[in-house]
Amino acid sequence: MTTFEALQKRVIRRPQQRHIPVLATLALLCVMYGAGVVRYTGFSDTQIVLNVFIDNGFLLVVGVGMTFVILTGGIDLSVGAVVALTTMIFASLVRAGWSPLAVLPVVLLTGALIGLAMGCIIHFFDIQPFIATLAGMFLARGLCYVISTEAIRIDNALWTSLADYKIRFGGFHISWSVVISLVAVLIAAYVLAYTRLGRNIYAIGGNQQSAMLMGLPVGRTKIAVYTISGLCSALGGVLLTFYTSSGYGLHALGMELDAIAAVVIGGTVLTGGSGFLFGTVLGVLVLGLIQTIITFEGTLSSWWTKIVIGALLFAFIVLQRAVARRTT
Amino acid sequence: MTATITKHRLFWPAAILVVLLVTNVFFSGSFFKVEFRDGHLYGSIIDILRASAPLGLVALGMTLVIATGGIDLSVGAVVAIAGAIACLRISKLDDQNAVTGVLLAVGLALLLSLALGVWNGFLVATIGIQPIIATLILMVAGRGLAQLITDGQIITINSSPYKMIGAGYWLGLPLCVIIAVGVAVVAGLVVRRSALGLLLESVGGNAEASRLAGIKSRWLILIVYVFAGLCAGIAGLMISSNVSSADGNNAGLLIELDAILAVVIGGTSLAGGRFSIAGTILGAVIIKTLDITIYTVGIPPEVTLLFKAVVVVVLCLAQAPKFREKFQRRRPSTPAAPQAPQKVEVTA
C-alpha cells in the first residue's frame, strides 16, 4: 500500500482537474475495500488483494495496450481474440515439442504483427479502427479454430513449474504473472509519461489535425499504438497460459469489453488525449475486487458482476462529463 | 453506361452477393430450387431470407443510428433481454397457447426494448455522452440483466402462437421475413418520402450546425436510438421464438458486430451523414448468404471466421476512398502517363 500512499501524496500536492477521475476511482476502490473488510471476515487478509493481482494479471497487461490505443482516440476490439490466438499457438507449439522459451518470442511477434497490420490498414486506408480491429478479431479467432477446435493442454514441466511458482515474502505470495504484468505497467507508464512517443500519443488523442499540423508523426504513432496493443495482448495471452495451462479458441471471450471497461473506469476518456496508466491499474483492481466481493457474498450470482460493472461505467462516464464541462 | 452502373454505391455489394449465389450453384445444383410444400415455400433461398430477417432488422435500426453519426453496441443485449422477458412471461402462463397471453408477453418485451432505447437515447442526446460509450454501458449491463431475468437458466417454452413469430408462415412466406420487410418498407417510406431522412443525415453530418439551422437534433437522436431498440426487440423475439427458448447469455451474441458490418457493407458511412436502407438489407443478406455458402461449399466450420475476416477486409478496402485512390493512381503511372485524366481509369 506504500506505493498507493506515495502516489496519493503526489497527486494531492498538485490537485488538478484532470486527476479527478483517477482520484474518484481510487476513492471507490478504498470504499469497496473498506466495505469488504467490514462486511466479511477474512477480507482484510493482504493475500486477498494480492489474489486480485494474481487473478487479473493478464487483464492488466491487455488493459495497458488498450490504454495506449484509447489515448489516441482509437479502439481495439481484437485484444480478446489475440489473447486466445496466443494461448493456442503457444499450446500447439509446445505440444509439437518446442521449448516454451523458444515459443515466447514467436507468439509475442505474432501479436505485434497482427497489431501492426491493423494499424497499417487504419492509417493507410483510413478504415475506422472499429471495423479494422473487428476484422482482426474475426481473423485471430478464425486462426484459433484453424489450429484446433479443441482445447490443448500445456504439458511442459518448465512451464508448469513457472506457473505454479510462488514468490513468497512475509507470509504472502504472488505469482510470476503479477511480476511480469507490473513490470509491463511500469515500462508502459514510463513510455507514456517521459518519451516522445508518449507525448505524441497524447497529442494525437487531443486533436489529430493539430498534431499533424505541428509536424508530429501521426501515422507512425498510430501504427505504433496498435502494434503495442497487439504485443500487450500476446503477453496477456502468455500470462493466461500460466493461469489456465491450456490453449483454447474460446479463451478470453469478451475480454475486450473488460479491458475497455477497466480503461474507462480508470478515468481515461474514450475520445482520447486524457488519462493515466495508473488509472487503468485501478480500473482492473476495481473489476477484480467486484468479483472478489461477489465470491465472498456467496449468494450473489455471477451476472451481478456485469450489472455492477455497467452501473460503474455509467457513474464514471457521467463524472467525466461533469469534469469536462467544468474545465471547458 | 457501364460506368454509371459500376459507380452506383450498391454495385459492389450486389456483385458480391451475385458471386456468392453463383458459387453456391456450382456446389449444390438445386440451390435456386424453391418448392411449395405443406402450404409454404421451401428452399435454400428461403432459408437465407429467414436467417437474414433478425439480422436485417437489427441492422436497420443500426443504420439510422449510424446515419446520425452514432453507434449502438447494446443491440445484442436488447435482443437477449426481449427474448428473455417474453419467454419468462409465457412460461408463467397457465395455457402457453393462449393468444392474448402471448400477445401481452410480446407487448411487454417490445415496451421494455423501447425503454432501453430511450435510456440509450437519453445518455447520448441529453447527457451528451459519446454514443460508443453510452451504449457500451447497456451492452455490458444488459447481458447481466438478461441473465437476471432468466435466472441464469435457459427458459424453454412450448407455445405455438409465439413460435409463429420466428418459425411460422403466412401466405406461404416465412412470417419473420414478412415482418422484417414490412418494418424496412415502412421505415424506408417514412425517412425517404418525408424530410426525416434528410434531417437525420444533416444531424450526422454536423449535429451542432443542424441544431443552429433549427433542427431539433436532440429529438432526432433520441428517436433513432428508440427505433434501434425496438428493432432489436423484434429481432430478439424472432430469435427466441425460432428456438422456443431464451438464453440470456448467448442469444444475439455478437449480433451488434454483424449488424454494424451489414451497415458498412451496405455503403453507409460510419462517420454519419449518409445512409442507405436498401444497402443495409443487402448487407444483412450478404452476411447470411456467406454463412450458408460456407456450408454448401464445404469449407470446414473452423475456417468460417477466417473467411469472414477476409471478406470484411476486402469489402471495406473496396469501399475505402483512400484505397481506391491509391489503386487507381497506380494504373495510369504504368504506361508512364502520370497526368492522364482521371475519368479514363474509372471505366475499367
Which residues in B lie closer than 8 A to residue A314 (C-beta atoms)? 123, 137, 141
The CA distance from A180 to B227, in Å, is 47
Q: What pLDDT, in 10s, does the model give residues A217-260?
A: 999 999 999 999 999 999 999 999 988 888 888 888 878 888 99
Scanning B217-303, the segments in alpha helix (DSSP H) are 217-243, 255-265, 277-297
Which residues are CB-contacts of B110 (< 8 A; sequence separation ≥ 6)? B82, B230, B233, B234, B237
The CA distance from B56 to B171, in Å, is 21
- CB-nearest to A135 from B144, B148, B313 is B313
- Cell matching residue B16: 458480391
The closest of A100, A57, A91 to A255, measured between CA atoms, is A57
The distance from CA B48 to its chain's CA centroid, rounded to whole angstroms, is 14
**CA neighbours closer than 13 Å in the CB half-sphere of residue A94:** 25
Q: What pLDDT, in 10s, does the model give residues B189-245?
A: 998 898 888 888 888 888 888 888 888 888 999 999 999 999 999 999 999 998 888
Chain B closest CA to A314's CA: distance in Å? 6
**Interface test mutation site (partner B, options A257, A303, A309, A328, max chain B beta carbons within 10 A):** A303
Q: At what angle do helices B217-243 and B99-121 cross, to 10 degrees?
A: 140
The closest of A1, A41, A148 to A87, measured between CA atoms, is A148
Query: What's the mean pLDDT in A130-141?
Result: 87
Work out the number of other CB atoms within 10 angstroms of the CB of residue B77. Answer: 31
> Does the CB of B314 have a partner CB in chain A at under 8 Å?
no
Work out the number of other CB atoms within 10 angstroms of the CB of residue B330. Answer: 10
- Checking if the pLDDT of B324 tops 60, the result is yes
Single-letter residue type at A318: V
Which residues in A lie closer than 8 A to residue B248 (C-beta atoms)? 303
Does the beta-carbon distance from A142 to B305 stay under 8 Å?
yes
Which residues in B lie closer than 8 A to residue A271 (C-beta atoms)? 130
Does the beta-carbon distance from B132 to A270 stay under 8 Å?
yes
Q: What pLDDT, in 10s, does the model give residues B272-308?
A: 888 889 999 999 999 888 888 887 887 777 777 787 7
Q: Is the distance from CB of A282 to CB of A214 less than 8 angstroms?
A: no
pLDDT at B29: 73
Chain A closest CA to B312's CA: distance in Å? 6
Worst-scoring range by mean pLDDT, A188-192, B296-300, B323-327? Answer: B323-327
> Does the CB of B323 have a partner CB in chain A at under 8 Å?
yes
pTM: 0.82
Among chain A residues, the shortest Cα distance to B262 is held by A131
Burial of A167 (0-12, 13-18, 19+ CB in 10 A): exposed
The CA distance from B57 to B181, in Å, is 9
Portion of chain A with pLDDT greater than 70, in percent: 93
Worst-scoring range by mean pLDDT, A77-91, A171-185, B65-79, B243-257? Answer: B243-257
The CA distance from B54 to B76, in Å, is 11
The closest of B139, B140, B120, B146 to B131, measured between CA atoms, is B120
- Checking if the pLDDT of B340 tops 70, the result is no
Quick check: helix, strand or coil at residue B74? Answer: coil
Kindly indicate the confidence band of residue A8, based on its pLDDT and cuts at 50, 70 and 90. low
pLDDT at A25: 85
Which helix or strand (DSSP H or E) is residue B170 part of?
Answer: strand B169-170
The closest of B261, B242, B347 to B312, measured between CA atoms, is B261
Portion of chain A with pLDDT greater than 90, in percent: 36
- Please state the three-class secondary structure of chain A as a single string: CHHHHHHHHHHHHCCCHHHHHHHHHHHHHHHHHHHHHHHCCCCCCHHHHHHHHHHHHHHHHHHHHHHHHHHCCCCCCCHHHHHHHHHHHHHHHHHCCCCHHHHHHHHHHHHHHHHHHHHHHHHHCCCCHHHHHHHHHHHHHHHHHHHCCCCEECCCHHHHHHHHCEEEECCEEEEHHHHHHHHHHHHHHHHHHHCHHHHHHHHHHHCHHHHHHCCCCHHHHHHHHHHHHHHHHHHHHHHHHHHHCEECCCCCCCHHHHHHHHHHHCCCCCCCCCCCHHHHHHHHHHHHHHHHHHHHHCCCCCHHHHHHHHHHHHHHHHHHHHHHHHHC
pLDDT at B346: 38
> Does the CB of A270 have a partner CB in chain B at under 8 Å?
yes
> Does the CB of B299 have a partner CB in chain A at under 8 Å?
no
Work out the number of other CB atoms within 10 angstroms of the CB of residue B201. Answer: 19
Does the beta-carbon distance from A126 to B322 stay under 8 Å?
yes
The CA distance from B246 to B178, in Å, is 23
The residue with greater pLDDT, A186 or A268, is: A186
pLDDT at B6: 66
Which phi and psi angles does A207 have, rounded to 5°? -165, 110
The closest of A302, A282, A245, A262 to A62, measured between CA atoms, is A262
Work out the number of other CB atoms within 10 angstroms of the CB of residue B190. Answer: 12
